[in-house]
Chains A and B, each alone.
Chain A
Amino acid sequence: KAGVTQTPRYLIKTRGQQVTLSCSPISGHRSVSWYQQTPGQGLQFLFEYFSETQRNKGNFPGRFSGRQFSNSRSEMNVSTLELGDSALYLCASRNWIAGGQQETQYFGPGTRLLVL
Chain B
Amino acid sequence: SQQGEEDPQALSIQEGENATMNCSYKTSINNLQWYRQNSGRGLVHLILIRSNEREKHSGRLRVTLDTSKKSSSLLITASRAADTASYFCATDAWDTGRRALTFGSGTRLQVQP
Interface residues in chain A, defined as those with a beta carbon under 8 Å from any beta carbon in chain B = 4, 33, 35, 42-45, 48, 55-56, 58-59, 88, 90, 92, 100-110, 112
Contact B100 A107 (CB under 8 A): no
Q: Which DSSP category, helix, strand, loop or mixed, fits chain A's interface?
A: strand
Contact A104 B101 (CB under 8 A): no
How distant is B2 from chain A, measured CB to nearest CB, in Å? 6
Which 4 A-B pairs give the minimum distances between C-beta atoms? A45-B100, A43-B103, A107-B43, A109-B42
Contact B102 A90 (CB under 8 A): no
Contact B99 A48 (CB under 8 A): yes
How distant is A99 from chain B, measured CB to nearest CB, in Å? 9
A102 touches which of B2, B43, B92 (Cβ 8 Å): B92
Contacts of A58 in B (CB 8 A): 100
Contact B43 A33 (CB under 8 A): no
Contacts of A88 in B (CB 8 A): 40
A55 touches which of B40, B44, B99 (Cβ 8 Å): B99
Contact A42 B30 (CB under 8 A): no
Contact B45 A106 (CB under 8 A): yes
B interface size (C-beta, 8 A) = 27
How distant is B92 from chain A, measured CB to nearest CB, in Å? 5
Contacts of B104 in A (CB 8 A): 42
Contact B102 A45 (CB under 8 A): yes
Contact B103 A42 (CB under 8 A): yes
Known: A90-B43, A109-B42, A112-B40. A104 touches B99 (CB 8 A): no
How distant is A56 from chain B, measured CB to nearest CB, in Å? 4
**Which of chain B's residues has its CB closest to A47's CB?**
B100
Known: A43-B88, A104-B48. A109 touches B99 (CB 8 A): no
Contact B100 A48 (CB under 8 A): yes
Does B105 count as interface, using CB distance less than 8 angstroms? yes
How distant is A6 from chain B, measured CB to nearest CB, in Å? 8
